[in-house]
Chains A and B, each alone.
Chain A
């Protein structure tokens, strides 16, 4: 309960007016002061508002697709005495944007009356939960107000479908297990790799009979061995990475997580081991693994883990990239390669990728382009271009990904340039 101090000056004004009225022997002014006294008397006598409300919130679609617009209806019923002045502000979860109608309402409710208001949110990836409705109740003249939060639940769970039409060639760092990643190891496989001289025990099918007929010497065809890889998908989700070309566009983190989800699906289908981590103060680590249970776990992590949340972490939380890097390296299996998703708006992901690549973990950077088509954006784009050029010079593969094109196109374009 707080005093709003709305009427603070009225008493003084009334005294001045009354004084002037007496001075000039003017009954009108004294009567005007009496009017003010009436207001002050009612203010003093007014009961303090004690809102007793029942709130019901209805979310039209509790499991929408990302980008869907969902209507949220809030019904507030007064279960106490009359409330003259009631202001309601709905606690919309952080990750959801209100696109139509403010999530607010002002009403005056008699005992037993109900007010209803509705607004529309755009669904975003994640598990969103409403907890309360903020209520500010004022008395009839607004002299005192009481602010409370009325509990009212509501839930919206938005799980994108990461359908796997996207592919990105992996680098040649693999596990000893059979898979789909072509390696620089000769052996059994599909693609021609080299010819070497025959050794006892080589399978007859791999002997190069043409050459034997021509020269009389036996030679064995070596084929490129295809093996499975261990891939850790790292999404840059530091506050700096939550950037988008326009206020309504998807953030780089959102696009990164989407791409990571799609690639994870494809890689897991090919038998690779896939893990995930967030380069963020909200540390998230899912060790690489394979199998159906892991696929479900990975998807759940990408969709709902706070590390990959659609809203930036608290900027006050300390993030020391060197410590994060050290811990990440301790967790990273020796034969793992890293797919880093980052808009590369500063040097931290660049250093991370370079160091990791130098340590032998082959790094591929997928960089969603967040720069807008404005003079300032063009400058930021140039700086980003220089950073990406530095990465390429250090031997890191980089796939640039503009907002207009699907990842598959960007991946294809980049893959044509990459030599194996």
Chain B
């Protein structure tokens, strides 16, 4: 085991956190029953996972220009990803996609 710096340690922690959230998003999409619950899993966990991973990479980048660009991408993702999730949910609601309830379950495409 070679020694690693504090920066690298933080980067590994961030990357591991990012991977955890992305894994949670994948499991959520596979396991949750309908469009809205899957969107709920994907919207939050994707944003968190991507942001953490990119921050970890920003620590590892070395070149300050690359670090700044990666941080800008994080800002863009944090802004655009939740907005896109909101737009998708809104479109689905307007299109009449049915909401899953425990007493009246619906399929992934909104079918009873």
* Real binding pair: no
Which B residues are within 8 Å of any A CB, using their own CB?
none
Which A residues are within 8 Å of any B CB, using their own CB?
none
